[in-house]
Structure 1
Amino acid sequence: MTKQAFAEVLEHRLHLYKALRSWGAARHVVEDIVSVVGVRYVQRRRTGPVAHVRAYLTTMARNTFLDHVEGSRKEALVGETQELDLLLEQERSVDYIVADTFAAEELMLKIASLSPKMRKVIELSFLKELPLLKVAAEMQMTPNAVRRHRVRAIQRLRELYDQAPMEPARPTALHREAPRP
């Protein structure tokens, strides 16, 4: 009886592969589902014959695939919930998060006001975290020239911070207020 059941699964295996792929299952998922369906079908056949084997196997494959998709969604939701819980557990208030965002935006505006070479040195050194020699190679400068530009850029940023108190950033083109009537 078991050999007959395996033979029936093998006979309809290609149909199951095609059906699962048409439903959007990835290849590695198709292999797993067909294996699960095969085992379940063999267990079912021990209780007696199945009238329409292909239809029965296809239904089992569809249900197993739907269970897989639903399980994947639940895993994703649990992961998202855990990340949200971690964020909520942090002791930082919204005020601190807004202040950090504001400070980062202010820094980016000040970096944008630097000369092109200074800006590039700052971006490569601090934002992309490249070592001095790679910055020098990318900018086609000597390491000493990169050091000088970096020191001058940092001095200029300090001057910019000392000049004006931190003010709210002006609205960008995307966030401008609507004209008043």
Structure 2
Amino acid sequence: MALEIHAIISILVTVVAIASAKLVDFYKFKKLEGSYKALVVIILLIVIAEGIYLSINFDLLTYALETVTSLSAILIFAAFVYLNKLQNAASGISIALSTNIHVGSKIEIENRKGTILKLGLTKTIIEIDEDKKRIWIPNKKFDEVLVSISRKEQKPSTINLENKN
């Protein structure tokens, strides 16, 4: 009986975690293009973790534990393969939470001046002032180089986000 109560509590915690992730995505990241992809990955990880927990406690996947272990190794390998995308996504979330960078802000990065057109999960689109060309900047670039950002109502401010790690 206690095992069933723990399972019900675990499922309720999982539902609350998923609802919380959806609320954070809706209220904090709704303007961040591609944030739904990160949300789907987070929800999948939560559901997989819950499934593993329940299956271990109820001995549902005793024989499949080796398969789960192998899949974990594959996921770790995939994380290394997609490390660049994951770093850009982490930087994109940081940019979305920042109060300094917004769509419409004037920006100077690596001696190129332009206007931010779109903030994405892994890249930011900027229109260069000189020739009106659009360039895609990987979001982790904002963590690596000196960036100057200004808005119409404020004086330019320079932020240096070099190697926060």
Pairwise TM-score range, normalised by the shorter structure? under 0.3
More helix by share: 1
* TM-score between both structures, scaled by the size of structure 1: 0.25
More strand by share: 2
* TM-score between both structures, scaled by the size of structure 2: 0.27
